[in-house]
Amino acid sequence: MELDKSETMPERKTPKEIAASTNELEKNEWMRQASIPELHELIYHISTHPHSTDYQRARIALEVRIAEAQIKSVGKVEASSCRLETHTVHLKWLTVVLVVLTVILAYLTYLLIRAEHP
């Protein structure tokens, strides 16, 4: 027997619906689970009066979500930086090998020209 989604999970409210809601617990829970775009949209639908607690909570929730995203991206940047360091070291040694081979090739070319034209 297949369960109907509408019976098992209530549909998530939109930022506009949450802005109009008077249920503070519902607003708090929604803000806690909201994504950055949802919180950004919510801010456009609520009063931006400096004493508006909804506005302040939405801003704080947005700032927390952005900070969490930055923490995740820092890990990725650090991993990329380590890989870049490793590749730079390998590139340095390959460049040294290339210079040595070029010097050897130049020397062998010199010897070949000298042997052909004494």
pLDDT (tens digit per residue) in 27-51: 888 989 899 999 989 888 887 777 7
Question: Which contiguous run of DSSP H or E holds residue 59?
Answer: helix 53-116
CA atoms of 83 and 91, how far apart (whole Å)? 12
CA atoms of 80 and 64, how far apart (whole Å)? 25
Q: pTM of the prediction?
A: 0.58
pLDDT (tens digit per residue) in 53-110: 888 888 899 999 999 999 889 988 998 999 999 999 999 999 999 999 999 999 999 9
Domain residue spans in the chain? 10-116
Q: Of 51, 50, 57, whose CA–CA distance to 34 is shortest?
A: 57
